[in-house]
Structure formats: C-alpha cells, structure tokens
C-alpha cells in the first residue's frame, strides 16, 4: 500500500493551491454576492491546462490521472466551490464520455477546443419530471437524413448560458424507458437551443444553472455517442466517474470550513481563554478533522481504483455519499464554532454552508448513492477487502 502522491499529483496540487489562493479566494465572496460568472478566471484555468485534465494529449488535453484531477477540483473548491463545479462539469461529464464513447472523428473535432478551455462543456440529463428517475425522460430525438433532431425540456443545466458543447440524453420513445435512450453531443450555439434565465440558487451563486428548451435542435449523425439505445449505459458510466469530482468538491468546501473554524477558535476569547481551549469546541474541531480525513482517503482510493479495471459504481457512490454528507456536517459545525458571526455574510463559513448543501443532491442524491451501493451489495457475499 502506497499513500504517497506521485510527482505529478503533488505538482498539480501545489500549482492549483497557489493559483486558488492568488486568483480565486480573494474575489469569491464578491462573485457570490453578485451572482457573477467569472469568464476571465475560466480563461486562465484553460491556459493552465485545468479544463481538459483527463482528456488524452492527442486531443489537446493534459492526459492526467483521475487523482491529479480530483486534487485540482478539491483545491479550487477550497477557494471557490462555484468555480469548482464548472471545472468538474467540463472535464468529467462532458469530455470524459466523449473521449470514452465518441468516434475518432468526433473526438478530433470537438475535444481540442474543450480541452484547451476555448469553449466550456456540460451535460443535459435532468428534466422537469425526470431527476433521480432518469429513464423517465421525455426529450425525444428523431432521425432526419444525416442528422438527429432533439426536442424537449431540460432542467438545472450547469453552464447552460456559458457552455458550447453538451452531452444530451434523449429518447426515441419514452415508453421504452432506458432502452429508448441515446446520448448525443450537442453544439448549443444554434437557434434550436433556448436557454432560460438563470435559477436563483441558495449556493454556488456564481455558477450559472438554467433550464433549456430544445426545439428541433440539430445534432449531426456523427455526434451520436456509442450506438443508439446505449445512452443510459453511457450516462451511468459517466456518473460513476464524475461523482468523484463532486466528492472532491465536498472535500474542498469542508477543508475551507475547518480552516476557518480553526483560525476563529484560536483567536476568539470567551471565559478568559481561546474557545478552542473549551473542550466542547476542541472536540467539535476534532470530529470535523477526523471525518474529513476519512472521506478524503475514501475518495482518493476511489480515484486510484478508477484507473484500474473493474466496476466503479459502489466505490464512487460510497465516496460521493460519505464526502457530501460529511461536508454538510462539517460546514454546520464551522458555523456553530463561529457563533453569531457564522450567521453573517462577513464570514466565509456562511457561503461555505450554502455551497455545501447541493453536494448531497446533484449527480445523484444521497438516496440514489445508497441505491447504487445496495444494488452492488446484492451481488456480494462479503465486503471484506481481498
């Protein structure tokens, strides 16, 4: 067993940590307040090679391993979780399935501008009546000579108004449920894609999220991922990988909350001493530290496993479940340590508390992660390590 980071992993983490401290943390509170998407920061992230981290070098990406990518997302989320979700989405739910399931021609055409950060990517799975139950989606597609035409309503699409390339799930017949669903690569810069005004969100306020209507949106036939009818399989394989990015986002938010709580508890005096000296506060910080460390190593191990053969579903669901639930407990503790000041927008923990909330919801709720794990347990006799 080897718990050492590789040279590359350490380099990525240190580089992103320095960039985050210099360029992300200082403006995070103001961007949250204004609900402003930082296009300039995404340009810089692209120049640093952070928007195509796992995409093969042959297609303009950095060709890095999953853990290097997660370390970058974690460090970014520690400074600004809104930026972290944008980084996660273009890297994982968009480029990963294209690199994995696209034809060589499709990859050569769409991946380089995404990987270089010249355009941003995302995914359109969710619909008003199809969230956890993705097989209930109603966006339809029909073939028209050398193209597909997609029509329907998508909900909660991260990057909707700022992204160009989206992986989209649509069905040829909703009554077929999962069997009818295919995955397409859609260029959203066309009249058939109508982006609605951004959602007014509790957290991640400088990330854009919006509903999208597809009105005979055109997709070249060559932009089909895999074969027709494989959309659900592609989406589930993608989520097995991309969930680790949300786990890393949760780790970063929790780390920031613990950092803030430790600093505050050392400096705030009550009853004649720093509050960290009161055992109840010290123990609270100890629980935060221990839980964060446990979730972190579960997530890192899942990243390591994702590079090897075998099914990832249970491991990635465990990491996402544990890290996101942990982050919500840790941010709540951090607010408590701050007392009344934790309830004020003047202190970073207030934003961290709001930003953590969605991590147990998107890319599969905690209940969905438990369903994935429970399904895997049905096929196992023991979970003892081999």
Ligand X SMILES: Cc1cc2nc3c(=O)[nH]c(=O)nc-3n(C[C@H](O)[C@H](O)[C@H](O)COP(=O)(O)OP(=O)(O)OC[C@H]3O[C@@H](n4cnc5c(N)ncnc54)[C@H](O)[C@@H]3O)c2cc1C
Residue 348 contacts ligand X per CB under 6 A: no
Helix (H, G, I), strand (E, B) or coil at 224: strand
Q: Which is nearer to ligand X, 52 or 122 (CB)?
A: 122
Query: Least separation, in Å, of the C-beta of 178 and ligand X?
Result: 15
Query: Least separation, in Å, of the C-beta of 86 and ligand X?
Result: 10
Which of 291, 311, 284, 316 lies closest to 301 in space, CA to CA?
316
Which of 232, 233, 208, 239 lies closest to 320 in space, CA to CA?
239
Which of 320, 322, 324, 330 lies closest to 359 in space, CA to CA?
324
Q: Which is nearer to ligand X, 84 or 258 (CB)?
A: 84
Among candidate residues 105, 218, 363, 367, the one labeled active-site is: 363
Contact 140, 152 (CB under 8 A): yes
Residue 381 known to be catalytic: no
User: Of the listed pieces 15-23, 52-60, 247-255, 360-368, which binds ligand X according to CB under 6 A?
Assistant: 360-368
Binding mask 178-207 for ligand X (x = CB under 6 A): -----------------------x--x---
Residue 209 contacts ligand X per CB under 6 A: yes
CA distances from 233 to 189, 224, 376 (A): 27, 14, 16
Burial of 55: CB neighbours in 10 Å, binned 0-12, 13-18, 19+: buried
Residue 306 contacts ligand X per CB under 6 A: no
Residue 157 contacts ligand X per CB under 6 A: yes
Q: What is the 3-state secondary structure (H, E, C) of 33-86?
A: HHCCCCHHHHHHHHHCCCCCCCCCHHHCCCCCCHHHHHHHHHHHHHHCHHHHHH
Of the CA atoms within 13 Å of residue 202, those in its CB half-sphere come to: 10
Name the residue whose CB lies closest to ligand X.
Answer: 131
Return the residue of 29, 236, 361, 376 that touches ligand X, per CB under 6 A. 361
Binding mask 114-133 for ligand X (x = CB under 6 A): --------xxxxx----xx-
Which residues here bind ligand X, judged by CB under 6 A?
89, 122-126, 131-132, 156-158, 201, 204, 209, 358, 361-365, 367-368
Known catalytic residues are: 363
């Amino acid at each position: 067993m080897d718990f050492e980071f590789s040279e590359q992993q350490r380099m990525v983490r240190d580089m992103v940590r320095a960039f985050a401290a210099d360029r992300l943390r200082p403006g995070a509170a103001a961007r949250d307040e204004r609900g402003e998407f930082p296009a300039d920061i995404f340009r810089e992230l692209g120049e640093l090679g952070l928007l195509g981290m796992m995409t093969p070098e042959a297609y303009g990406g950095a060709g890095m391993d999953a853990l290097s990518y997660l370390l970058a997302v974690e460090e970014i989320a520690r400074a600004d979780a809104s930026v972290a979700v944008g980084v996660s989405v273009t890297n994982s739910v968009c480029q990963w399935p294209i690199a994995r399931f696209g034809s060589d021609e499709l990859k050569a055409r769409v991946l380089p501008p995404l990987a270089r950060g010249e355009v941003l990517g995302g995914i359109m799975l969710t619909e008003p009546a199809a969230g956890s139950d993705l097989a209930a989606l109603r966006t339809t597609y029909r073939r028209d000579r050398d193209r597909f035409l997609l029509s329907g309503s998508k909900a909660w699409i991260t990057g909707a108004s700022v992204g160009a390339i989206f992986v989209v799930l649509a069905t040829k017949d909703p009554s077929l449920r999962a069997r009818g669903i295919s995955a397409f690569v859609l260029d959203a810069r066309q009249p058939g894609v109508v982006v609605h005004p951004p959602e007014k969100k509790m957290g991640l306020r400088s990330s854009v999220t919006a509903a999208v209507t597809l009105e005979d949106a055109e997709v070249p036939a060559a932009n089909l991922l895999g074969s027709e009818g494989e959309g659900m399989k592609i989406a589930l394989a993608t989520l097995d990988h991309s969930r680790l990015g949300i786990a890393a986002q949760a780790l970063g938010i929790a780390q920031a909350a613990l950092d803030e709580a430790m600093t505050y508890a050392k400096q705030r005096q009550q009853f004649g001493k720093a509050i960290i000296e009161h055992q109840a506060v010290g123990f609270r910080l100890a629980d935060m530290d221990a839980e964060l460390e446990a979730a972190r190593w579960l997530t890192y191990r899942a990243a390591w496993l994702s590079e090897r053969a075998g099914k990832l579903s249970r491991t990635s669901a465990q990491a996402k479940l544990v890290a996101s639930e942990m982050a919500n407990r840790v941010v709540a503790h951090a607010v408590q340590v701050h007392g009344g000041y934790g309830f004020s927008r003047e202190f970073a923990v207030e934003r961290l508390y709001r930003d953590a909330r969605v991590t147990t919801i998107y890319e599969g709720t905690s209940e969905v992660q438990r369903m994935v794990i429970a399904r895997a347990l049905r096929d196992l006799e023991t979970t003892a390590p081999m």
